[in-house]
Chains A and B, each alone.
Chain A
Amino acid sequence: MSSISLRKLNKTYGALTVVHDIDLEIDDKEFIILVGPSGCGKSTTLRMIAGLEEISGGELVIGGDMVNDVPSKDRDIAMVFQNYALYPHMTVYKNMAFGLQLRKAPRDVIEQKVHEAARILDITHLLNRKPKALSGGQRQRVALGRAMVRNPAVFLLDEPLSNLDAKLRGTMRAEITKLHKRLDATFIYVTHDQIEAMTMADRIVVMSDGRIQQVDTPQNLYDRPINMFVAGFIGAPQMNMLPSVIERRGERYVAVFNGRDLPLPAHVDQSRIVPYVGKDIVVGIRPENFHELPPADIDPANMAPFEAVVDLAEPMGSEIHLNITVGEHALTVRVSPRFKAAIGSPAKLVVDTTNMQLFDKETQRSILY
């Protein structure tokens, strides 16, 4: 069993609290990712789990045992660092074997485990080489191999792909996901890259300012963000935030943004909307919910015309990211690569409000959930 419980876990440096009373349950064999901007406390949390940082308060339970004061080497965990942390004077084989040697494992066991890990990671041809000859991706595999040979219950990965180029990052993402399924262990992964989080995780923990904002599956985080921070952090390009006012139009409610009526979808719980009628709120609409023409599969009751001025067109190949302006507000929308719009000219678009998000302007929390 390698389930992990963080109970009111906190970390302070003098008067400064960097992690505020985190409560988190991680299931056995789960792939969970801590994501957030730099300085949000995700790496500190990971290091507390690893035992590299002293826990200031709260409890850390691994496999049913409280491990607050247990040394790192006795926690049955293995860590992969952002900068790989390979011993430069040792060959790849010796780097991978080092942990087992410290544990006085028999020589034949070390040999077998190292070769097995090398075979899985396809680095058998590198075993007698030193890290300085290896590329970043190869070093990362060696760091993974060094963690694997110990057969730990929990793998901790601290931004392992951040030093790699974009193409290699894509390859290694898939490798790590496959590795998780193969090893059948718990993976706790830290990253600031929300694409890594969305593509790899069973669940994502979004953190900000030392606090957990939301814990959920990637799709739920994308479709049902609990506050403006999560809504803006998850998704690229990020969600457009439109200051609006809720008004009633007969049987339906609309959000009025800069003179434009954005109909609220019928499935929204109206009891949550009623207290906000006439009040300022923030409407969140994702860039892909703007279209050149009304899509045939969308309920026309959830469509509204949306005219704006084109500021900038960023062709991405498969689509165009259009920066548009509505009054003083700048938005980003995704349109097809065939969309023709000159800079400074008006663009007649249609907005689909089916997945529109509504946020309380004061608390920034979602009104809908």
Chain B
Amino acid sequence: MQWLREMWTKEGPGISKNAPKKTGLALFGQTMAREGWEMVKLNILFILAALFIVTIPAAVAATARICLTHVEDRNTYLLRDFCEAFTRYFWRATAWGLGFGAAIGLGAYAVITYAAIARDNVLLVLPLMTAVVVTVFLGVLACHLLVLMVMRNLPALTLLRLAAIASFMRPLPVMAAMLFVAALWLAHILLYPVSVFMPAAFNFSLGMFAIVFSAHRAAETVLDLPPEPTRSDLKPEAGQAKHI
């Protein structure tokens, strides 16, 4: 049974302090491999927390919070931190979830409706494309807002503003992440019933990890932006300045 003991006690390759850090997809893969088992446990926690349906937004926020610690390579105590995040973000997540849910739902309805009519009337392609762009943008905005919410305690309008800036600045990584999430569910549907384990094992947590990973850099950038000057910051003569 030496092999069983050596599985745990065998010396590893070691981790160099000065090794160049991986970036991009390599970092995504490395983190996924390292935190794989934690993601399975997180997935189960999410399912349990979301069972009551009304708790879905809070469960999403808690999952995002845990995924953030994985992305930032920080230590986390899974159950403790998940429960804390669930209670901390419950009302905020529920409010934003309902708001964005309604907005994206409306956008999806518009897309479906215009798509149906546009087959007969080519002129309606323009509003169709507009609806598609707006709906996708709302999705990207929601992802950035979620990540910003679990990164920093900010007032609602500030959060929305920063999320909008991040969405305009770097929309593509989040869109790629959303496509990845769609691909996960598509694989589950296409490969069913063999893929029945996927939602139970990792679909939710891996999908959330992909979204947090993709939105993280933009979120860090907007959080580093200098705050807007308030009235008290302005010099007294500023009010008398005239545009040339």
A residues sitting closer than 8 Å to B (CB atoms) are 83, 88, 91, 93-94, 122, 125-129, 131-139
Contacts and interface: CB of A to CB of B under 8 A. Distances in A.
B15 A125 contact: yes
A93 B8 CA distance: 18
Interface string B5-27: 00011111111010000000000
Contacts of B10: 132
15 contacts: A91-B75, A93-B75, A94-B75, A125-B15, A125-B17, A128-B74, A128-B75, A129-B34, A131-B8, A131-B12, A132-B8, A135-B12, A135-B14, A135-B15, A138-B14
B73 interface: yes
Contacts, number: 40
B75 A134 contact: no
B81 to A, nearest CB: 11
Closest 5 CB pairs of A and B: A135-B14, A93-B75, A88-B8, A133-B12, A136-B11
Nearest to A164: B11
Interface of B: 8-15, 17, 34, 73-75, 77
A138 B17 CA distance: 11
B9 A128 contact: no
B146 to A, nearest CB: 23
A134 B17 contact: no
A83 B9 contact: yes
A133 B75 contact: no
Contacts of B17: 122, 125
A309 to B, nearest CB: 45
Contacts of A133: 12-15
Contact of B13 (A93, A135, A139): A135
Among A94, A127, A128, A136, the most chain B Cβ lie within 10 Å of the Cβ of A128
Contacts of A94: 75, 77
Given A83-B9, A88-B8, A138 B15 contact: yes
A133 to B, nearest CB: 5
A134 B9 contact: no
Contacts of A126: 15
Contacts of B12: 131-135
A128 B73 contact: yes
A127 B14 CA distance: 13
B22 to A, nearest CB: 14
Given A83-B9, A88-B8, A129 B15 contact: yes
B75 to A, nearest CB: 4
B14 to A, nearest CB: 3
Contacts of B15: 125-126, 129, 133-135, 138
A135 B12 CA distance: 5
Contacts of B13: 133, 135
Contacts of B74: 128
A129 B38 CA distance: 13
Among B12, B73, B77, the most chain A Cβ lie within 10 Å of the Cβ of B12
A133 B75 CA distance: 16
B63 to A, nearest CB: 18
Nearest to B8: A88
A128 B31 CA distance: 11
A128 B74 CA distance: 6
Nearest to B77: A94
Nearest to B12: A133
B199 to A, nearest CB: 26
A94 B78 CA distance: 12
Contacts of A135: 11-15
A136 B14 CA distance: 8
Nearest to A96: B75
A35 B224 CA distance: 57
A93 B73 CA distance: 12
A127 B13 CA distance: 16
A137 B16 CA distance: 12
Contacts of B73: 128
A154 B17 CA distance: 30
A126 B12 CA distance: 13
Nearest to B14: A135
B118 to A, nearest CB: 51
A351 to B, nearest CB: 46
Contacts of A83: 9
Contacts of A127: 75
B17 to A, nearest CB: 5
A136 B13 CA distance: 9
Contacts of A128: 73-75
Contacts of B77: 94
Nearest to A122: B17
Nearest to B38: A91
A21 B43 CA distance: 59
Given A94-B75, A128-B74, A134 B8 contact: no
B34 to A, nearest CB: 8
Given A88-B9, A131-B8, 12 more contacts: A88-B8, A93-B75, A94-B77, A122-B17, A128-B73, A128-B74, A128-B75, A133-B13, A134-B11, A135-B13, A136-B11, A139-B11
A135 B17 CA distance: 12
A122 B73 CA distance: 17
A129 B15 CA distance: 9
Contacts of B9: 83, 88
A344 to B, nearest CB: 44
A77 to B, nearest CB: 24
A36 B177 CA distance: 62
